[in-house]
Amino acid sequence: MSAFDEAMDKVCQSPDRFRVEFQPDVRKFRVPGFPYNILYRLVGREVEVLVVAPHRRRPGYWLGRL
């Protein structure tokens, strides 16, 4: 949980820093030391977390849920 908290702190401090990986405007941050990505988008000035996805298991399974 502390790794996730630290990752979210980085995302919230500079959400524009990370590149758009999927449309519409979905950005990805890889959680250091763990096999998970945080996928999020900006809604106004807020960060909306869409999914915390594993790197290997069923990649992209969540795309249909956007």
**0.95 exceeded by the pTM?**
no
Residue 14 contacts by C-beta under 8 Å, 6 or more apart in sequence? none
Q: Are 18 and 31 in contact (CB under 8 A)?
A: no
Is 16 within the bounds of a domain?
A: yes
Is 49 within the bounds of a domain?
A: yes
Q: What is the domain extent for residue 14?
A: 2-58
Is 64 within the bounds of a domain?
A: no
Domain count, the chain: 1
User: What pLDDT digit, counting tens, does each position of 13-62 carry?
Assistant: 999 999 898 888 899 999 988 888 899 999 998 999 988 888 777 766 66
